[in-house]
Structure 1
Amino acid sequence: MGHEDAPTAWEERAAGQATPFRDVRVTGRLAVAGLLLAGAAWVVRGVWEARLALAGEPASGPPDQGGGVHRPLTALEDSYHLVTSLGGGAVLICALLFLSWVVRLRDNARALSGRASKYAGIWVYAGWIVPVVNLWFPRGIVADAFRGSAPGRRLPASVNVWWGLWLLGMLSGVGIVYEDSTDEIIARAYTGVWPLLASDAAVVGAAVAGAFAVRAVTAVQVARMREAAAPRLPQPV
């Protein structure tokens, strides 16, 4: 990440005292990797949905026949189940890596600003799943940590792009958060694939924008920690 690869100046002060900061460079890199992994998984998912649309629905109808009856899956439908399962695993890995980064980001922001975070720690996790608050809490937590790290600095635009695309993918009902079963998604691909592909594009865009946001926020905090940990020269009398 450019200048982030320099030695960790905040590990110890010149006087040999340990600093209160936690290195966010590694967790930031891992979070970026997790986001790109999830984005790649959704690209593959979109490709499979396009393949389903091009293949067309079998004469036997959709996989879910209604009334609890499910016909045997075709080879393509079966592979789509595998793709969605692998995609779910990629999203889980991404979530764990991203949350690990956010936790360290908040801790460092608190040490730099000397004030408590605006959001209680439980919201780092619950903020993603509690209805209504999940529309703004996760972005708010990242923004609050950024402002605590660099007061007066403008929030990177990538943070807002990431969150806007995430909401678009989530609220579309066919993105990462949805209630339909995989078989129902397959039926949608047969009858109208474009909403699915639009939602996939939003999720992929959110992953890419999120990677840029993590890099930008991490870089600003690392610079502030270096500044705070640098030895202070005695002032001339």
Structure 2
Amino acid sequence: MAQSPPPPVLQPVRGAARVAVAALLLAGAAWVVRAVWEIRLAVAGEPASGPPDRGDGSHRPLTALEDSYHVVVTAGGVVALICALVFLSWLWRVRDNARVLSGRPARYSDIWVYVGWSVPVMNLWVPRGLVADVYEGSTGGKPAPMILNIWWVLWLVGMVSGVGLLYQDSKDEVVERAYTELWPLLASDAAVVGAAVAAVFVVRAVTAVQLERGAAGAAAPVPAA
């Protein structure tokens, strides 16, 4: 009797998933802190001296609260960068495993794992497609769960609405917005926090599928010759 093929050799993903989940939750917490500081700025009100950015390269000295907000925003940016690196590390592992489980190449080339998040227009769907392709390859073609779409919609809202990773306003300009248009900022903060939480469930869903497939393959009996 011919032997069945050996079980697939998958990269370990449990540890990478746990680190990714922790980083995502930390990033969400950083944006909660940012929202709290924006509320504090709005409650304190704009100083009589006007906004920090006077225009034409002129800036007034910051208040203690404004200065602390700069620290909060900088710290949040560092946390977000670490989160992005950890998430991409996890994504690389599960993409490799999906290729092994599906027996086919990934839908997107490797370069899109990095540039797909920043290339204009392409960043509206490529990152979601990367994760969806991993899930479908890991499950044998099952469609991605609804939580993936929820995550992506929240990510897009946060990205384009004012406080996402790709937002280009200076810290002083965001301070001025906290004084004059708090609610749009808070809505953006909420979208970023929601995206981080939804991404946790995405990571857990993809990881669980691969762990299940890996365990099933390892436990499959190999008939004697």
Whether the 8 Å contact between 1:156 and 1:217 is mirrored in structure 2 is no
Q: Report the secondary structure of 2:143's partner residue.
A: coil
Q: Which runs of 5+ in 1 are unaligned?
A: 1-16
Equivalent residue number for residue 129 of structure 1: 118
Q: How does 1:99-118 map to 2 (within 5 A)?
A: 99-118=88-107
Q: Which runs of 5+ in 2 are unaligned?
A: 1-5
User: d(CA) in 2 for partners of 1:40 and 1:67?
Assistant: 35
Whether the 8 Å contact between 1:128 and 1:134 is mirrored in structure 2 is yes
| 2:157 is the counterpart of 1:196 | no
Instruction: Please report how far the alpha carbon of residue 214 of structure 1 lies from its aligned counterpart in structure 2 after TM superposition.
Output: 0.5
Q: Over the residues paired in the alignment, what is the CA RMSD in angstroms?
A: 1.6
Equivalent residue number for residue 33 of structure 1: 22
Of 53, 61, 65, 1:72 maps to: 61
| 2:46 is the counterpart of 1:61 | no
Query: TM-score, normalising length from structure 1?
Result: 0.89
The total of aligned residue pairs comes to 220
Query: TM-score, normalising length from structure 2?
Result: 0.94
User: d(CA) in 2 for partners of 1:233 and 1:111?
Assistant: 19
Of 193, 196, 212, 2:201 maps to: 212
Equivalent residue number for residue 3 of structure 1: none
User: d(CA) in 2 for partners of 1:77 and 1:227?
Assistant: 55
Q: How does 1:1-237 map to 2 (within 5 A)?
A: 20-234=9-223
Whether the 8 Å contact between 1:176 and 1:203 is mirrored in structure 2 is no
Q: Report the secondary structure of 2:109's partner residue.
A: coil
Deviation sequence 1:13-57 (CA, Å, 0-9, x none): xxxx89531011111111111110100000000000000000000
Whether the 8 Å contact between 2:107 and 2:133 is mirrored in structure 1 is yes
After superposing on structure 2, the runs of 4+ consecutive aligned residues of structure 1 that deviate more than 4 Å are: none
User: d(CA) in 1 for partners of 2:56 and 2:28?
Assistant: 35
Q: Report the secondary structure of 1:57's partner residue.
A: coil
Whether the 8 Å contact between 2:8 and 2:217 is mirrored in structure 1 is no
